[in-house]
Amino acid sequence: MQLTIALASLLLLAGSSSFASDAPVMPTSSAEPTLRFIESNGIRMRIAEMGEGPLVLFVHGWPESWYSWRHQLPAIAAAGYRAVAPDMRGYGKTDKPADVEDYDIQHVTGDLVGILDALGEKTAILVGHDWGAIVTWHAMLLHPDRFTALVAMSVPYNGRGPVSLVDGLRRSLGDNFFYILYFQEPGVAEREFDADPRGILSRLYLSPGSPREAPQVTDPKRAAGGWIPRMGAPKELPSWLTQADLDYYVSEFKEAGFRGGINYYRNFHRNWETTPQLADAKVTQPVVFIAGEKDTVIRGASADALRAGMKSAVPGLQDVMLIPETGHWVQQERVAETNAAILKFLGTLKK
């Protein structure tokens, strides 16, 4: 049975521990973006910005922030582009509206359009990872006059399914635990994560082979507990994540909380209900898809299988790149390969 956004967004992660330190200071480097605030789509958003030229807009996923693109912004700016990465609605220093419905696909894609308007740009090239990929796929469909090309990471697009993702999961999983269904429970997941942001983030930000402790909860039923105890605590940080990086992420979520990001998941069904016009819609703009070969979202699919799955809904697909021995956090795990792939794709487009 086909599910919305391919059953691809099913396994969105698996992930890093309770390494201490609460330093809220952003790690510094020789090339740092400018952080500032803009008004977009009725909310105040924080953006990170570098460079001049055609706009490339980077859209992060869950549970992340603009900082997830810290390695991409300098590289793309140096190549002659205006590289911009916002804290998405509900994250970081960006506003966090109260209502769940304020995080539906119309609002979050509207935020991207609002960023273009605030920056005085008519069009942009999009780069989206995880939930950012879901948002950018829909931005290409809902606002095709504003977004000219897309680099989608981790979550492919197979078209609008016959049932919503949440309905499909409930039918197949029943009373077993699955994080997307857990997130549908009002107030529950954010209460768990807000109480231990380092616990959840450190367990998620891992590579596929990262060593872990044994999980505290192994019972598959939802009634057995939440998500943190189901993931073994890591024994060490992955090589691509420094202590300062983790501390910065933790400090951002300590301030912002997890409710906003989780509300994106609470709109899966609403998004499906409110977009019947996308039943036969196709992404015709140029697209490249990038993922780690071991990313759990693609569930072991080969590049050929991913191409075949996207062929009908994404006729603009130009290439699929799977990076070996790499997991979900591809742009952080494999910086050089990811940057090279983005720059190669940008080079095929007319400036």
Contact residues for 55 (Cβ-Cβ < 8 A; gap 6+): 81, 82, 84, 116, 119, 121, 123, 124, 125
**pLDDT the model gives residue 31:** 75
Contact residues for 99 (Cβ-Cβ < 8 A; gap 6+): none
One pLDDT digit (tens) per residue for the chain, 351 residues:
333 343 444 333 333 333 333 444 556 554 799 999 999 999 999 999 999 999 999 999 999 999 999 999 999 999 999 999 999 999 999 999 999 999 999 999 999 999 999 999 999 999 999 999 999 999 999 999 999 999 999 999 999 999 999 999 999 999 999 999 999 999 999 999 999 999 999 999 999 999 999 999 999 999 999 999 999 999 999 999 999 999 999 999 999 999 999 999 999 999 999 999 999 999 999 999 999 999 999 999 999 999 999 999 999 999 999 999 999 999 999 999 999 999 999 999 976
What are the tokens at 144? 């095709």
Q: For the segment 80-126, what is each residue's pLDDT rounded down to a tens digit?
A: 999 999 999 999 999 999 999 999 999 999 999 999 999 999 999 99
Q: Look-up: residue for tokens 């916002």?
A: 86
- Of 282, 342, 280, the closest CA to residue 311 belongs to 282
**pLDDT the model gives residue 345:** 98
What DSSP assignment string belongs to 241-309? --HHHHHHHHHHHHHH-SHHHHHHHTTHHHHHHT-GGGTT----S-EEEEEETT-GGGTT--HHHHHHH
**Per the residue annotation, which of 95, 102, 130, 247 is the catalytic one?**
130
Give the predicted TM-score (pTM) of the model: 0.92
Cα–Cα distance for residue pair 323/72, rounded to 1 Å: 16
Three-class secondary structure of residue 321 per DSSP: strand
Three-class secondary structure of residue 153 per DSSP: strand
Contact residues for 294 (Cβ-Cβ < 8 A; gap 6+): 208, 325, 326, 327
**pLDDT the model gives residue 351:** 61
- Of 119, 51, 128, the closest CA to residue 82 belongs to 51
Fold (CATH) for 7-347: Rossmann fold (3.40.50)
**pLDDT the model gives residue 27:** 60
**pLDDT the model gives residue 332:** 98
Q: How many CB atoms lie within 10 A of CB 174?
A: 11
What are the tokens at 161? 């399914």
| Bridge partners for 49 per DSSP | 34, 84
Task: Report whether 160 contacts 130 (CB < 8 A).
Answer: no
Q: For the segment 230-266, what is each residue's pLDDT rounded down to a tens digit?
A: 999 999 999 999 999 999 999 999 999 999 999 999 9
Contact residues for 78 (Cβ-Cβ < 8 A; gap 6+): 31, 51
Active site residue 130: yes
Cis preceding-peptide flag for 276 (omega within 30 of 0): no
**pLDDT the model gives residue 14:** 32
**pLDDT the model gives residue 284:** 98
Q: For the segment 3-23, what is each residue's pLDDT rounded down to a tens digit?
A: 334 344 433 333 333 333 344
**pLDDT the model gives residue 143:** 98
| Bridge partners for 287 per DSSP | 150, 317
Q: How many CA atoms, within 13 angstroms, populate the side-chain half-sphere of residue 322?
A: 19
Active site residue 319: no
**DSSP 8-state class, residue 87:** P
**pLDDT the model gives residue 41:** 98
